[in-house]
Copies of this chain bind each other. A is one copy, B any other.
Amino acid sequence: MPVPRTSPFAVLGMLSLGTLSGYEIRRELAANVGAFWGESYGQIYPALRELSRKGFARRHAARRPGGPERHVYEITSKGREALRRWLADPPHPTPPRNELLLKLFFSDRDAVDQPAAWVRGLLAEETEKLRQIRRMKEQLPRGPHHHRSLRFWMMTLEYVERQSEATVAWCQRTISTLDLMQEAQARRRTAAQRRSPLE
- Interface of A: prevailing SS: helix
**Chain A residues numbered 134-163 whose CB sits less than 8 Å from any CB in chain B:** 148-149, 151-153, 155-156, 158-160, 162-163
| Count of identical protomers in the assembly | 2
CB of A87 within 8 A of CB of B99, answer no
CB of A107 within 8 A of CB of B91, answer no
A162 to B100, CA, bound (A): 16
Question: Within 8 Å CB of A149, what residues of B?
Answer: 107-109
22 A-B residue pairings within 8 Å (CB atoms): A13-B106, A16-B106, A33-B101, A35-B96, A36-B96, A36-B98, A37-B97, A37-B99, A38-B95, A87-B107, A91-B118, A101-B156, A105-B153, A105-B156, A107-B149, A108-B148, A109-B149, A151-B177, A155-B174, A158-B170, A162-B167, A162-B170
A149 to chain B, nearest CB (A): 5
Asked whether any CB of chain B lies closer than 8 Å to the CB of A124, the reply is: no
CB of B162 within 8 A of CB of A166, answer yes
Question: Which residue from chain B places its CB closest to the CB of A114 in the assembled complex?
Answer: B88
CB of A101 within 8 A of CB of B36, answer yes
A121 to chain B, nearest CB (A): 8
Q: Kindly identify which residue among B88, B92, B99 contacts A4, using a CB–CB cutoff of 8 Å.
A: B99
Question: Within 8 Å CB of A195, what residues of B?
Answer: none
